């Protein structure tokens, strides 16, 4: 006689196949949706230009809204914070690129003030952002 107590259909292990399937589906969903996430922190209306250049290498972005709000890579800063951050970046990477995205409604004097602050910190490669 055989003892049937050990073979009565009890599963002693955990089946991880459904867990792996769900994890892979979630990973694919996150990878697809991450493509659509953009760096939109501050809404500015850029002026139009006939020949807008594309920046070939990643650059530091300074956004200046018409309300006077300054953001450095989506972090709100004031003029002193901007100058300190630019001086630090210029010291770490002398060839750093900075792109200024200033709202089209700003007074030219305000844009020049931002450019002067960036250049006074030691950054030599500064560009103004525009839409084509």
**Dihedral sign (CA 104, 74, 41, 97):** positive
Residue pLDDT, tens place only, 17-42: 889 999 999 999 888 877 666 555 55
How large is the average pLDDT for residues 70-86? 89
> Is 92 a residue whose pLDDT tops 80?
yes
How large is the average pLDDT for residues 79-103? 88
Q: What is the pTM of this model?
A: 0.56
Domains, the chain, in order of start with CATH, read 60-128 (3.30.420.270)
């Amino acid at each position: 006689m055989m003892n049937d107590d050990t073979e009565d259909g009890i599963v002693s292990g955990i089946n991880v196949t459904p867990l792996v399937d769900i994890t892979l589906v979630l990973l694919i969903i996150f990878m697809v949706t991450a493509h659509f996430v953009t760096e939109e922190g501050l809404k500015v209306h850029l002026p139009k230009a006939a020949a807008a250049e594309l920046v070939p290498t990643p650059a530091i972005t300074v956004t200046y809204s018409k309300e006077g709000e300054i953001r450095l890579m989506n972090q709100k800063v004031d003029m002193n914070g901007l100058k300190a951050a630019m001086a630090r970046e210029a010291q770490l990477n002398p060839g750093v690129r900075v792109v200024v995205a200033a709202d089209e409604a700003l007074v030219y004097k305000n844009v020049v003030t931002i450019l002067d602050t960036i250049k006074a910190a030691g950054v030599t490669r500064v560009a103004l952002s525009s839409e084509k």
